[in-house]
Amino acid sequence: MKQMTIREAQSRGIHLLSQTSPDQRGVNLDVRVLLMHVLGVESTTLYAYPERMLTPEQQRQFLSLIERRQRGEPVAYLVGHKEFYGLDFLVDARVLIPRPETELLVETALAGIRTRIAAGRLPIVADIGTGSGAIPITLAVEEPRLPFVYACDISPDALDVARSNCQRHHVEARVRLLQGDLLEPLPEPVDILLANLPYVGTTETESLAPDVYAYEPHQALFSGQYGLDLLQRFCKEAREFGTLKVGSIILLEIGYQQCQPLTDLIKELWPQARVTCTQDYAGWDRLLQVNLL
Ligand SMILES: C[S@@+](CC[C@H](N)C(=O)[O-])C[C@H]1O[C@@H](n2cnc3c(N)ncnc32)[C@H](O)[C@@H]1O
């Protein structure tokens, strides 16, 4: 096959991906990210040296990644990492790819942690359903005064990925990885309880992007018929197990139709609690905050 320059590789990639995707901006971005990955360069190099030749091996790798992308495999899995809250996380098919909307949960948790630290208290924080570790690792990196965070997941495979990410960000001593079902692995009551658990209903499978359904772990996506099973059990067990200290907060990432049913349940469990629902940047209900008195 004729050797290609960066410019030719870009046009070829765009031509091939446009055959399966109508999203031109997405296609352009995917091609750039895949090319940067194969060449091991920053995007500025692509612009500055469009006539640079790819080696035969780089060309083979690039076209093979384009082919996998054409079949729908997410770019983050193809390149093996994803940015979240300005940090780079290793990801593969064992974990959900961290989503930008989850940054809302992290920002709110950081505010809660800092308020407590400013009042002279070091909060006990736990993240349930930790996946790649994006949430607890970001908290540990962003708030060095936080002594440690519990990070729990039912999947030992996901925790292996989280462990690699802890090492990558030098927080392995401060992120305590625990394997088990929901709150069961927690060794002590906490002040701030976070969770981005699966919240897609099996009835919503049709509306899910086909790439998500085909490639991301179903254990990280689905939670019963309406997506509420795990979140409801989580709330009931948090009450039953005495997981929360006085004055603590719960922060839950939720699906866009889940604010009301979960608020009703929480009000039953903790009649005195203050419950607020915040929308994400796209305007969907995304974060449920529970302040326990
Ligand atoms: C939606 S993913 C979120 C991953 C990560 N927190 C993020 O925001 O990118 C949900 C995670 O919950 C975990 N999970 C599913 N069922 C669980 C359970 N019963 N107990 C604990 N974790 C569970 C999955 O393995 C998965 O890693």
pLDDT for residue 1: 74
Residue with tokens 């729908």: 72
- Are 24 and 105 in the same domain? no
Q: What DSSP assignment string belongs to 40-84?
A: T--HHHHHH-TTPBPPHHHHHHHHHHHHHHHTT--HHHHHTEEEE
Q: Does residue 39 belong to any structural domain of this protein? A: yes
Residue among 92, 94, 130, 253 whose CB has most ligand 1 atoms within 8 A, to mutate: 130
- Are 35 and 149 in the same domain? no
pLDDT for residue 2: 84
Residue among 161, 219, 258 whose CB has most ligand 1 atoms within 8 A, to mutate: 219
Instruction: Output the domain CATH number for residue 283.
Output: 3.40.50.150
What range does the domain containing 133 cover? 82-291
Q: Does residue 108 belong to any structural domain of this protein? A: yes
Whether 129 and 198 have beta carbons less than 8 Å apart is answered as: yes
- Are 54 and 95 in the same domain? no
- This prediction has a pTM of 0.96
Residue among 96, 138, 177, 183 whose CB has most ligand 1 atoms within 8 A, to mutate: 96
Q: Does residue 171 belong to any structural domain of this protein? A: yes
Instruction: Tell which atom from ligand 1 comes closest to the C-alpha of 129.
Output: 12
pLDDT for residue 120: 97
| Protein residue with least CA distance to atom 9, ligand 1 | 98
Q: Does residue 199 belong to any structural domain of this protein? A: yes
Which portions of the chain are predicted below pLDDT 70? none
pLDDT for residue 293: 82
| The last residue of a domain, from among 52, 71, 90 | 71
Beta bridge partners of 35: none
Q: In angstroms, what is the span from residue 155 Cα to ligand 1's centroid?
A: 8
Instruction: Tell which atom from ligand 1 comes closest to the C-alpha of 97.
Output: 9
| Protein residue with least CA distance to atom 11, ligand 1 | 129
Q: In angstroms, what is the span from residue 59 Cα to ligand 1's centroid?
A: 37
- Are 24 and 62 in the same domain? yes
- Are 57 and 90 in the same domain? no
| The last residue of a domain, from among 71, 103, 127 | 71
The alpha-carbon radius of gyration of the chain (Å, integer) is 21
Instruction: Give residue-wise pLDDT tens across range 212-267.
Output: 999 999 999 999 999 999 999 999 999 999 899 999 999 999 999 999 999 999 99
- Are 187 and 163 in the same domain? yes
pLDDT for residue 84: 98
Residues in contact with ligand 1 by the CB-under-6-Å rule are 95-96, 98, 102, 128-132, 134-135, 152-155, 158, 181-182, 196-198, 219-220, 230
Crossing angle of helices 56-70 and 6-18, rounded to 10°? 20
